[in-house]
Chain A
């Protein structure tokens, strides 16, 4: 009897011991970091560009993977909820462009500043918003990052200025002016799309940013289409990285998180050394249409979308790199996928069950620092209250 028990125990000990030894061997097997050759950036008014040989650590890789996967699944879930009519109004999805948001954030600090236009869910996440509060904002609930009052295009958090209907470029330069004024060595990343790149206010901003040497990184996320209009049909010059004329520029592969990271590092150094603004064009792609009301196939072919997905998907690219360099295992990445899926499910659950904002909130936040203010309702007897 005792012999049987001891045999069982010894066997399990051996098994456990063996398992421990096997894991130890597996962890020791993983490469902690690897060097990668990345695409060279086209430069404009610069003597040199970002490095083409970059080091990626295992930890960084896992973090980028997790973040990009979270953003991807979050956007796909938003797609689902929109089709179920739980999200309404405008919904501009970011899937395909994850490498941009993640790469940029990897080379700046949370104490730096960032502003973008309406395709903002990804940046809200990288800037510190949680999936839960982003999704609840999309569904217009009180747990949303803007308490349900902003929606898809108007999300804010610390040092993140939205989410803007048209473009936030002059605002971003203003934030940079404040950084310079206050002497805090912070910078502002100021994003806009290939469509907005033709707006006059952007050229006014280029002029003032360069004139006053503001610490701003202008970034054009060129996803080839401004709503349904391809870049060739909208711009006399599609070299967006050159459009700053007197501002140095870089054209970057926006599907490669390492390219984006390296270019942003280069740009941030440029700004922080007091040289003034710099412009980056990220060549990227969106899988969805312009918004949820655009199927996205009337102005481009399904083949094109499929080609980008199979050849240049940012998440696949990172995954392949890590696996082929033994920086992670398939199981490990799958585990991350499972965790991400769960996080998204939980967030979606919250976003669909959290109640809508109370009607008492309707008129709040008109003015800052204002004790109770009366607001006219829809009829003269409806005297509503506003507090802030």
Chain B
């Protein structure tokens, strides 16, 4: 009895492995659900462990576990030397971070929101971004500036601005804008490993949203190249380009439009600077229509830049209609919920714009 049981178990195991080898019943790779917050946390944890020159500084990043809990647990693990709570002195601590990068460390400088980075913008642009050029390659500045960017919920005008266009304007800076958890982890790790100043524009509303993390993305060496966009959804009718939160909105719009036979190709920019225009052009040359979607204001924005670049390149001749920009409303962000909701692109705005662009 025992012997036959053993035989059965043994063969049973063999049978299962045989089945697997024959791909008879292929199970999906072990993906997990992870929030953007945890993905960012994991990215920083892994890079802190990997390179002792990496450290994090900012307001409330250490003992408070981060204003938005993105750095939760890091101070407990790495201590005062590597996770530094700063006083409320953006200009001062950003300059300190840049100086530390010049002298051989690899700082991650957190802004509680990018609105506060305006206090320190001289250090980001003049001290960090331009230095490699001014010194003709003598002095590099391997620093990461990260924090939540753009609209939140009910935080009103001074705390809701999108800085993608401001930072995307400047040579010498790399600017990334992750959407989902894989983006967040992969881009932040790349940013930390990059020898140049990188601005990582996160989004507070996405912090708590869980996304699937592939097995590959769970690896300690998972990085996403800076400067490469990703096609999140293939389609032939029209191209939608977005970054950060609005990638999700575009995918939602695409799902609705698919029911009417309109197949949207959704491109997740991932990087604002250097922008992957080729991916957009290739897509436009296939679909002949383009809609850009962003949370920032229209004037001099991401969409405006994409329009200009499309016009200057080969894709222009493939356009069957002018490019449409879907943007935030050109006003300071109001407080009242109904007003705030109508200040930013909604899924219905994207659907409407797609149909207008397709002349449907």
Question: Known: A178-B105, A182-B104. Contact between A201 and B91, CB under 8 A?
Answer: yes
The answer on a CB contact under 8 Å between B139 and A161 is yes
The answer on a CB contact under 8 Å between A174 and B97 is yes
Proximity string of chain A (149-172) to chain B, C-beta cutoff 8 Å, 1 when within and 0 when not: 110001011000110111011111
Interface residues of A in 68-102 (CB under 8 A from B): none
Closest to B99 in A: A174
| Chain B residues within an 8 Å CB radius of A162 | 131, 134-135
Give CA–CA (A88, B89) in the complex, Å: 36
The answer on a CB contact under 8 Å between B95 and A173 is yes
Interface residues of A in 172-219 (CB under 8 A from B): 172-179, 181-182, 188, 200-201, 203-205, 207-208, 211-212
Out of A161, A212, A367, which one reaches B196, CB within 8 Å?
A367
The answer on a CB contact under 8 Å between B195 and A369 is yes
The answer on a CB contact under 8 Å between A174 and B133 is no
Out of B100, B137, B274, B312, which one reaches A174, CB within 8 Å?
B100
Closest to B97 in A: A174
Question: Known: A178-B103, A373-B274. Contact between A170 and B136, CB under 8 A?
Answer: no
Q: A345 CB to closest chain B CB, in angstroms? A: 26
The answer on a CB contact under 8 Å between A201 and B92 is yes
Give CA–CA (A205, B100) in the complex, Å: 13
The answer on a CB contact under 8 Å between B98 and A367 is no
Give CA–CA (A51, B225) in the complex, Å: 58
Q: Does A4 contact B (CB under 8 A)?
A: no
Q: Does A368 contact B (CB under 8 A)?
A: yes
Question: Known: A205-B95, A208-B89. Contact between A161 and B174, CB under 8 A?
Answer: no
| Chain B residues within an 8 Å CB radius of A109 | none
Closest to A174 in B: B99
Interface residues of B in 301-354 (CB under 8 A from A): 312
Q: Does A364 contact B (CB under 8 A)?
A: yes
Give CA–CA (A165, B125) in the complex, Å: 12
Out of B98, B136, B137, B142, which one reaches A171, CB within 8 Å?
B98
Q: B127 CB to closest chain A CB, in angstroms? A: 6
The answer on a CB contact under 8 Å between B103 and A179 is yes
Q: B84 CB to closest chain A CB, in angstroms? A: 8
The answer on a CB contact under 8 Å between B172 and A154 is no
Q: B269 CB to closest chain A CB, in angstroms? A: 18
Q: A180 CB to closest chain B CB, in angstroms? A: 9
| Chain A residues within an 8 Å CB radius of B95 | 169-171, 173-174, 201, 205
| Chain B residues within an 8 Å CB radius of A358 | none
Q: Does B285 contact A (CB under 8 A)?
A: no
Out of A113, A365, A388, which one reaches B103, CB within 8 Å?
A113
- The total of chain A residues at the interface (CB under 8 A) is 50
Residue among B89, B126, B134 with the highest chain A CB neighbour number at 10 A: B134
Residue among A146, A166, A176 with the highest chain B CB neighbour number at 10 A: A146
| Chain A residues within an 8 Å CB radius of B98 | 170-171, 174
Q: Does A380 contact B (CB under 8 A)?
A: yes
The answer on a CB contact under 8 Å between A388 and B132 is yes
Q: Does B102 contact A (CB under 8 A)?
A: yes
Q: B308 CB to closest chain A CB, in angstroms? A: 9
The answer on a CB contact under 8 Å between B104 and A367 is no
Q: A366 CB to closest chain B CB, in angstroms? A: 6
Q: Does A272 contact B (CB under 8 A)?
A: no
| Chain A residues within an 8 Å CB radius of B30 | none
Give CA–CA (A75, B127) in the complex, Å: 26
The answer on a CB contact under 8 Å between B171 and A174 is no
Closest to A182 in B: B104
Q: Does A309 contact B (CB under 8 A)?
A: no
| Chain A residues within an 8 Å CB radius of B93 | 170, 204, 208
- 11 new A-B contacts, CB < 8 A, other than A147-B136, A175-B102, A208-B89, are A171-B99, A172-B99, A174-B103, A175-B103, A181-B81, A204-B89, A204-B92, A208-B92, A208-B96, A364-B137, A367-B174
Residues of A bordering B, CB below 8 Å: 113, 115, 146-150, 154, 156-157, 161-162, 164-166, 168-179, 181-182, 188, 200-201, 203-205, 207-208, 211-212, 364-370, 373, 375, 380, 388
23 contacts between A and B (CB under 8 A): A147-B137, A150-B135, A156-B134, A156-B139, A161-B99, A161-B102, A161-B139, A171-B98, A174-B97, A174-B102, A178-B104, A179-B103, A181-B100, A182-B104, A201-B91, A204-B89, A211-B87, A212-B84, A364-B136, A366-B132, A380-B312, A388-B132, A388-B137
Query: Which 7 interchain pairs have the tightest Cβ spacing?
Result: A174-B99, A170-B95, A204-B92, A171-B99, A178-B103, A204-B89, A147-B136
Residues of B bordering A, CB below 8 Å: 55, 81, 84, 86-87, 89, 91-105, 122-123, 126-127, 131-140, 142, 171-172, 174, 194-196, 274, 312
